[in-house]
């Protein structure tokens, strides 16, 4: 029976190895770093199982039985298999027997074989062998997991310790791996979201810059249009305006334009003494014609001078009636 089990396990390991390295299974090849990381993780998990087994033995109800050779573990090549998917965990117990009033110490060696299958460690068998006080060698191994133990003795306790400890530890390892996967996924999602946010911010900044450039270009176009109007008007204005004492136009002008909501406001300041004559224009939106809006208020003109000046400018700067829409 043991030979059949061994051959079956060996065949299974060959199959597992062929899948891991991607032989005919279509599995993407892993990098050396990924292979090393996976091997280190499996080794760490075997060490965790061995530590948990040692802790379980300390509290197990073994009576006069006691562990005399502590728990040790071997993984991969050190386990004698040469495979990173196989590990062994071993320890030795002593149990006494009394014959004709004399106590004799006997040893029982446990050697658990674990196989990494379907992404987790599985306890395949626990070989037990005995060395009795009157023998020099250990007996051949028997599989404790396959044995039927009906007496409820210490071997039954140890069998339960093996099974429950490995099962519970592996469940914790699977939960830890699942948590790591979830955290890695969340980190990737956050990285993608951050990258997208950065891209969106960059696109928004570019769009804002384009809008700014477009607005500046529109202001330049509207300023040019108003400057042409101002140049024509300035050429048609007399140097002196009758009825406004002391006012003399010097022939220069300045133009200012701003965007207010979707409309445009413009000002033309005709250079003069004692003060410039400043008038206002409006355009309902980009591309629409400038419309004269009158003399700017609060420019320091007295009432009579303002009335004369407004009438003079309205006559010359307003659109001719035939051109109005």
Other CB atoms within a 10 A radius of the CB of residue 40 amount to: 11
Q: Read off the tokens for 146.
A: 């396959």
Task: Give the relative orientation of helices 154-236 and 32-59 as an angle to the nearest 10 degrees.
Answer: 140
Please state, in angstroms and rounded to a whole number, the distance separating the CA atoms of residues 279 and 310. 9
Whether 206 maps to a domain, the answer reads no
Domain of residue 59, residue span: 2-191
Q: For 254, list phi and psi in degrees, rounded to 5.
A: -130, 145
Please check whether residues 231 and 139 belong to one and the same domain. Answer: no
Please check whether residues 267 and 137 belong to one and the same domain. Answer: no
- C-alpha distances (whole Å) from 158 to each of 54, 90, 149 are 12, 12, 11
Please check whether residues 114 and 10 belong to one and the same domain. Answer: yes
User: Which residue, of 176, 191, 206, is where some domain finishes?
Assistant: 191
Peptide bond between residue 274 and the one before it cis (omega within 30 degrees of 0): yes
**Res 8: pLDDT:** 30
Q: Tell me if residue 46 falls in helix, strand or coil.
A: helix
- C-alpha distances (whole Å) from 317 to each of 63, 87, 273, 302, 323 are 117, 100, 20, 21, 13
**Res 235: pLDDT:** 86
Whether residue 281 contacts residue 267, with contact meaning beta carbons closer than 8 Å, is answered with yes
- C-alpha distances (whole Å) from 264 to each of 28, 65, 258 are 64, 99, 6
DSSP class of 122: E
Residue where the block lists tokens 């004698």: 80
The model's pTM is 0.55
Whether 62 maps to a domain, the answer reads yes
Q: Read off the tokens for 318.
A: 């307003």
Q: Read off the tokens for 250.
A: 């010097």
- C-alpha distances (whole Å) from 176 to each of 10, 170, 188 are 29, 10, 18
Please check whether residues 140 and 13 belong to one and the same domain. Answer: yes
Please give the tally of structural domains in the chain: 2
Whether 12 maps to a domain, the answer reads yes
Whether 207 maps to a domain, the answer reads no
Nearest to 278 by CA among 262, 260, 292: 292
Please check whether residues 175 and 232 belong to one and the same domain. Answer: no
The pLDDT tens digits of the residues spanning 60-78 come to 999 999 999 999 999 876 6
Please check whether residues 226 and 181 belong to one and the same domain. Answer: no
Q: Where are the beta strands (DSSP E) in the chain?
A: 66-75, 86-99, 102-117, 120-131, 142-143, 248-260, 263-273, 277-283, 291-295
Whether 211 maps to a domain, the answer reads no
**Res 261: pLDDT:** 84
**Res 18: pLDDT:** 36
Please check whether residues 187 and 269 belong to one and the same domain. Answer: no
**CA torsion angle 30 32 34 35 (round to 10):** 80
Among left, alpha and beta (phi > 0; psi -120 to 50; other), residue 152 is left
Whether residue 281 contacts residue 268, with contact meaning beta carbons closer than 8 Å, is answered with yes
Please check whether residues 119 and 46 belong to one and the same domain. Answer: yes
N-to-C CA span, the chain: 108
Please check whether residues 66 and 183 belong to one and the same domain. Answer: yes
Please check whether residues 148 and 21 belong to one and the same domain. Answer: yes
Residues of the chain falling short of pLDDT 70: 1-29, 77-82, 151-152, 319-325
DSSP class of 297: S
Please check whether residues 225 and 106 belong to one and the same domain. Answer: no
């Amino acid at each position: 029976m043991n030979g059949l089990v061994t051959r079956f396990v060996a065949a299974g390991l060959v199959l597992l190895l062929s899948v891991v390295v991607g032989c005919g299974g279509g599995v993407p090849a892993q990098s050396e770093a990924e292979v090393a990381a996976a091997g280190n993780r499996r080794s760490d998990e075997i060490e965790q199982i061995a530590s948990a087994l040692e802790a379980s033995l300390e509290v197990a109800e073994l009576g006069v039985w006691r562990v005399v050779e502590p728990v040790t573990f071997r993984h991969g090549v050190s386990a004698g298999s040469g495979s990173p998917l196989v590990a062994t965990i071993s320890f030795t117990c002593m149990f006494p027997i009394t014959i004709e009033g004399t106590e004799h110490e006997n040893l029982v060696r446990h050697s658990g074989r674990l196989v990494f299958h379907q992404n987790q460690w599985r306890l395949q068998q626990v070989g037990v062998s005995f060395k009795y006080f009157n023998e020099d060698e250990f007996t051949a191994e028997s599989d404790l997991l396959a044995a039927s133990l009906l007496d409820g003795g210490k071997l039954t306790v140890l069998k339960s310790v093996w099974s429950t400890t490995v099962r519970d530890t592996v469940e914790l390892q699977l939960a830890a791996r699942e948590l790591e996967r979830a955290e890695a996924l969340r980190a990737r999602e956050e990285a993608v979201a951050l990258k997208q946010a950065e891209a969106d911010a960059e696109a928004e900044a570019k769009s804002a810059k384009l809008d700014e450039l477009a607005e500046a270009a529109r202001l330049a176009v509207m300023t040019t249009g108003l400057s042409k109007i101002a140049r024509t008007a300035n050429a048609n204005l007399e140097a002196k305006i009758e009825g406004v004492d002391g006012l003399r136009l010097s022939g220069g002008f300045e133009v200012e334009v701003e965007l207010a909501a979707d409309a445009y406001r413009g000002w033309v300041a005709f250079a003069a003494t004692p003060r410039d004559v400043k008038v206002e224009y409006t355009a309902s939106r980009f591309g629409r014609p400038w419309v004269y809006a009158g003399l700017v208020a609060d420019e320091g003109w007295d009432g009579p001078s303002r009335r004369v000046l407004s009438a003079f400018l309205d006559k010359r700067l307003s659109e001719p009636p035939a051109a109005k829409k």
